[in-house]
């Protein structure tokens, strides 16, 4: 058999494609292998729903951190999603093409700023501001949400812009021809047509917010407690792993892997919900 360039390229690409899949699978297996036995030992109910985290005393309750991760993530979405989608609409529908060609790459540049820089800004500017004007220690759910909300903007904007840009112009022309104003055509026609892309952008942003660690450690305060106000400090799941990793041995280390398992499952659940939301929309169209 003669080996030509095509077969080589094909087999190399196959190997590369599957290696990405394999590494994902390996990570999943490793986290579960390290963390799941611990969860069974402590009791899944106790681990997930008790509120005291004190590895030295053998108390491993991560409920406050699950709540914190969800609060901070949704807080970031409340801030980031409307801003991002509004920005995308503005850029596509109201801005001349030439201006968009400058603004869009600039916004995408925001994605290249390391998270530690965002965290630093949060500690130096945002936290003192919250402390002075809203009370509390400053390092809080609110600070983390605002910082994450800004961090996810490039994700939301660039994917939403692509989705809105992909809506055929004939849709807009049709709406305008039927007497709709520009704004009516945007929210009645363009946004509906682009909705699956916009939702996808929000899901991706949610994943980023949930997984962000460095910036959150810096601005969230890391107190293991269920927050009662937006100015209360919290510790997220990711922050817990990163904070205690360096000193953890034995059971405490397994507990961190188990935290990773929970994070993995929470992200899976969020993705499943979001995917089914897209599907339902697609079906009703």
Partner 1 sequence: MRVHVLKLCWVGLAIVGLTSGCGKPRENITLAGSTAFQPFAERLADQYMTTHPDVTVTIQGGGSALGIQSALSGAAQIGMADLVKLPSEADALKSLVVARDGIAVVLNPANTMTALTLAQVRGIFSGTIKNWKEVGGPDHTIAVISREAGSGTRSSFEQIVGGITLTGDALIQDSNGTIRETVANDAHSIGYLSLGLINSKIKPITVDGAPCTEKDIMSGAYKLVRPVFLVHNANVSPACSAFLDYVVSPEAQEMIHKNGLIKAK
Binding residues vs partner 1 (CB under 8 A): 53-56, 123-124, 127-128, 131, 137-139, 217-218, 221-225, 233, 235, 242-244, 246-249, 252
Residue with tokens 């929210």: 187
Q: Which is nearer to partner 1, 24 or 124 (CB)?
A: 124
271: which 2 tokens?
A: 């993705």
For the CB of residue 76, give the shortest distance to partner 1 in the complex, in Å.
20
Q: Which is nearer to partner 1, 126 or 206 (CB)?
A: 126
Q: What is the rounded distance in angstroms from the CA atom of residue 229 to the CA atom of residue 13? A: 51
81: which 2 tokens?
A: 């999603």
For the CB of residue 221, give the shortest distance to partner 1 in the complex, in Å.
4
For the CB of residue 33, give the shortest distance to partner 1 in the complex, in Å.
21
59: CB partners within 8 A, 6+ apart? 50, 52, 53
3-state secondary structure of 60: strand
Q: Which is nearer to partner 1, 42 or 198 (CB)?
A: 42
201's enclosing H/E stretch is helix 195-211
73: which 2 tokens?
A: 């993530």
Q: Which is nearer to partner 1, 92 or 222 (CB)?
A: 222
For the CB of residue 266, give the shortest distance to partner 1 in the complex, in Å.
21
Q: What is the rounded distance in angstroms from the CA atom of residue 205 to the CA atom of residue 284? A: 25
Q: Which is nearer to partner 1, 106 or 246 (CB)?
A: 246
**Do you know the residue count of the chain?**
285
Structural contact between residues 143 and 115, judged by C-beta atoms closer than 8 angstroms: no
For the CB of residue 105, give the shortest distance to partner 1 in the complex, in Å.
34
């Amino acid at each position: 058999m003669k080996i030509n360039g095509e077969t080589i390229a094909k087999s190399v690409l196959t190997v590369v494609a599957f290696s990405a899949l394999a590494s994902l699978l390996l990570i999943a297996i490793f986290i579960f292998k390290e963390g799941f036995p611990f969860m069974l030992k402590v009791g899944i109910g106790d681990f997930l729903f008790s509120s005291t985290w004190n590895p030295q005393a053998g108390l491993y309750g991560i409920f406050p951190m699950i709540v914190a991760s969800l609060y901070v993530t949704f807080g970031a979405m409340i801030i980031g999603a409307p801003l991002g989608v509004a920005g995308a609409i503005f850029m596509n529908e109201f801005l001349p093409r030439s201006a968009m060609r400058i603004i869009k790459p600039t916004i995408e540049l925001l994605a290249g700023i390391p998270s530690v820089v965002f965290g630093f800004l949060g500690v130096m500017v945002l936290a003192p501001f919250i402390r002075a004007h809203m009370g509390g220690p400053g390092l809080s759910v609110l600070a983390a949400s605002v910082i994450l909300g800004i961090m996810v903007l490039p994700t939301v904007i660039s994917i939403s812009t692509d989705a809105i840009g992909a809506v055929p112009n004939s849709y807009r022309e049709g709406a305008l021809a039927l007497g709709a104003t520009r704004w009516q055509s945007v929210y009645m026609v363009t946004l509906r047509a682009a909705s699956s892309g916009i939702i996808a952008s929000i899901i991706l942003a949610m994943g980023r917010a949930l997984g962000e660690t460095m910036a959150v450690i810096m601005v969230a305060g890391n107190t293991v407690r269920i927050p009662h106000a937006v100015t209360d400090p919290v510790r997220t799941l990711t922050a817990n792993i990163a904070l205690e990793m360096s000193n953890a041995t034995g059971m405490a280390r397994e507990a961190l892997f188990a935290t990773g398992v929970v994070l993995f499952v929470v992200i899976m659940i969020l993705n499943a919900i979001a995917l089914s939301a897209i599907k339902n929309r697609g079906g009703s169209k």
